[in-house]
Chains A and B, each alone.
Chain A
Amino acid sequence: MRYFSKIRQQWSWDGGLRYLLLFAFFLLVYGPLVALMEEASRYSLMNPETALNLAFPSGRILGLLINSLGLAMAVAAVGTGLGILAGSLMWRWQTGVRSYLRWFILVLAPVPPYLHALAWSSAIDNLNNHLQFLGWTTISLQGWIAAWWVQLMAFLPIAVGMALIGFESVDPYLIEAAGLLRSDMQVFTRVILPLSAAPIAAGSGLLFLLSITDYSVPSLFSANVYSLEIFAEYSASNQPATAVLLALPLLIVTVLVVTGLQSALRDAAQIAPRQPQACRASLWPPWFVWLQKCGLAVLFLQVGTLLVSSVAAVVSLEKMTSTIILAGSEISFTFWIALATALAAVPVALAASMELRRKDVLGRVFWVLVTAPLAVPAPLVGIGLISLWSRAVWPDFYGSSAMPVLAALARFAPLAAIVLLAQLRNIDPLLIDAAHVFQVKAQQTWVQIWLPLLAPGMLAAAGIAFALTSGELGATLIVAPPGHATLTMRIYNYLHYGASSDVAGLCLMMAIATLAVGCLAALALTGWRPGGKIPLSAGRVRSR
Chain B
Amino acid sequence: MDQVSLEVFPRDSVAILGPSGSGKTTLLRLIAGLEVPDGGQIFIDGRLVSSPEWTLAPDRRGIGFVFQAPALWPHMTVAQNILFGLQGLPREEARLRLEELLARTSLSGLADRYPHQISGGEARRVSLARALAPRPRCLLLDEPLTNLDPELKEEMLCLIEESLEESGICSIYVTHDADEAERISERILTLKGGSLSPQQGRG
Docked-complex contact A544 and B68, CB < 8 angstroms: yes
Please tell me which one of the listed residues A183, A184, A543 contacts residue B69 in the complex, with CB atoms under 8 A apart: A543
Contact A544 to B84, CB < 8 A, known contacts A180-B32, A181-B134, A280-B55:
no
Residues of chain A lying within 8 A (CB to CB) of residue B71: 171, 173-174, 176-177
Whether B23 sits at the interface, judged by CB under 8 Å, is no
Please tell me which one of the listed residues A180, A195, A283, A544 contacts residue B73 in the complex, with CB atoms under 8 A apart: A195
Please tell me which one of the listed residues A173, A184, A195 contacts residue B57 in the complex, with CB atoms under 8 A apart: A184
Bound: A177/B68 CA distance, A? 11
Taken residue by residue from 163 to 203, chain A's Cβ proximity to chain B (1 for < 8 Å, 0 otherwise) reads as: 00000000101101111111110100011001100000000
Bound: A283/B61 CA distance, A? 15
Contact A278 to B35, CB < 8 A, known contacts A180-B64, A182-B85:
yes
Taken residue by residue from 223 to 257, chain A's Cβ proximity to chain B (1 for < 8 Å, 0 otherwise) reads as: 00000000000000000000000000000000000
Give residues 257-293 of A contacting B (CB, 8 Å).
Answer: 278-280, 283
Docked-complex contact A280 and B69, CB < 8 angstroms: no
Contact A190 to B55, CB < 8 A, known contacts A179-B34, A280-B35:
no
Give residues 426-466 of A contacting B (CB, 8 Å).
Answer: none
Bound: A186/B74 CA distance, A? 17
Residues of chain B lying within 8 A (CB to CB) of residue A177: 65, 67, 71, 73, 130
Docked-complex contact A180 and B69, CB < 8 angstroms: no
Residues of chain A lying within 8 A (CB to CB) of residue B33: 280
Give residues 498-544 of A contacting B (CB, 8 Å).
Answer: 543-544
Expressed in whole angstroms, the minimum distance between the Cβ of A238 and any Cβ of chain B is 52
Please tell me which one of the listed residues A182, A278, A279, A543 contacts residue B84 in the complex, with CB atoms under 8 A apart: A182
Residues of chain B lying within 8 A (CB to CB) of residue A279: 34
Docked-complex contact B57 and A183, CB < 8 angstroms: yes
Whether B47 sits at the interface, judged by CB under 8 Å, is no
Bound: A178/B65 CA distance, A? 10
Q: How many residues of chain B have a CB within 8 Å of chain A?
A: 28
Give residues 9-59 of B contacting A (CB, 8 Å).
Answer: 32-36, 55, 57-59
Docked-complex contact A180 and B147, CB < 8 angstroms: no
Of chain B, the residue at the smallest CB distance from A186 is B87
Docked-complex contact A180 and B87, CB < 8 angstroms: no
Docked-complex contact B57 and A176, CB < 8 angstroms: no
Query: Taking chain B's interface residues, is the majority helix, strand, or loop, or is none over half, making it mixed?
Result: loop
Bound: A186/B57 CA distance, A? 13
Of chain B, the residue at the smallest CB distance from A191 is B73
Interface size class of A (residues with CB under 8 A): 20 to 34
Residues of chain B lying within 8 A (CB to CB) of residue A176: 32, 34, 58, 65, 67, 71
Whether B75 sits at the interface, judged by CB under 8 Å, is yes
Please tell me which one of the listed residues A171, A179, A183, A194 contacts residue B75 in the complex, with CB atoms under 8 A apart: A194
Bound: A186/B111 CA distance, A? 22
Residues of chain B lying within 8 A (CB to CB) of residue A171: 71
Whether B63 sits at the interface, judged by CB under 8 Å, is yes
Please tell me which one of the listed residues B57, B85, B130, B147 contacts residue A283 in the complex, with CB atoms under 8 A apart: B57
Residues of chain B lying within 8 A (CB to CB) of residue A173: 67, 69, 71
Docked-complex contact A183 and B55, CB < 8 angstroms: no
Expressed in whole angstroms, the minimum distance between the Cβ of B37 and any Cβ of chain A is 11
Please tell me which one of the listed residues A180, A182, A278 contacts residue B65 in the complex, with CB atoms under 8 A apart: A180
Contact A180 to B74, CB < 8 A, known contacts A280-B36, A544-B68, A544-B69:
no
Docked-complex contact A178 and B84, CB < 8 angstroms: yes
Contact A180 to B68, CB < 8 A, known contacts A195-B73, A280-B33:
no
Residues of chain B lying within 8 A (CB to CB) of residue A280: 33-36, 55
Bound: A279/B72 CA distance, A? 19
Residues of chain B lying within 8 A (CB to CB) of residue A278: 35
Expressed in whole angstroms, the minimum distance between the Cβ of B122 and any Cβ of chain A is 16
Docked-complex contact B75 and A195, CB < 8 angstroms: yes
Chain B contact residues, CB within 8 Å of chain A: 32-36, 55, 57-59, 61, 63-65, 67-69, 71-75, 84-85, 87, 130, 134, 146-147
Given contacts A173-B67, A544-B68, 10 further A-B contacts (CB under 8 A): A171-B71, A177-B65, A179-B57, A180-B34, A180-B59, A180-B63, A180-B85, A183-B57, A183-B59, A195-B75
Give the 9 A-B residue pairs with the shortest CB-CB distance, closest first.
A181-B85, A544-B69, A173-B71, A177-B71, A194-B75, A180-B58, A179-B58, A544-B68, A180-B65
8 contacts between A and B (CB under 8 A): A171-B71, A173-B67, A174-B73, A179-B57, A180-B58, A182-B87, A280-B55, A543-B147
